[in-house]
Amino acid sequence: MSLTPYGPGKFNLLVDTIPHAYTMEGAHDDETGDCETTGWFGLVKGKLDPTGIDGSDKLSADDRAFLARMIGAIVCEDSQGFVSVDYYDREEDMREEWERIVNGVSRKLAEDANT
């Protein structure tokens, strides 16, 4: 299976535009951090259906098959607007990573408040 590269720009892969679109539409389940200090993280639970999302017509069959197998994603956006996405096919793995991220953001914000 080969996923379509996004090309130069804010995403690594074309499929990354789908969970990012969910977050831009407010359809994420949770969020933490902010772009300027910790990176912004958005948790998207459930199927990543590209239907109706701008640009989804450019997804390949492999891209669509990949998204169909995933049960969620964690989207990160940094202060320069670059977006990275981690995909999950197991709820437990996604939950554990989300907890790690939330704890890390909390620690960073607490450290910054004390300096």
- What percentage of the chain carries pLDDT values higher than 70? 100
Share of the chain above pLDDT 90, in %: 85
Q: Report yes or no on 107 lying in a domain.
A: yes
Q: Scanning the structure block, which residue is given the tokens 């910790």?
A: 38
3-class secondary structure, 16: helix
pLDDT digit string, tens, across residues 31-49: 999 998 899 999 999 999 9
Average pLDDT estimate for 13-41: 95
Please give the average per-residue pLDDT across 59-81, as a whole number: 97
* pLDDT score of 113 more than 90: no
**Residue-range definition of the domain harbouring residue 40:** 14-113
pTM of structure: 0.93
In a domain, 46, yes or no: yes
Cβ pair 25, 63 in contact under 8 A: no
37 CB contacts (<8 Å, ≥6 apart)? 108, 109, 112
Residue 64 within any structural domain of the chain: yes
Is there a domain that residue 3 lies in? no
Look at the chain and report how many structural domains it folds into. 1
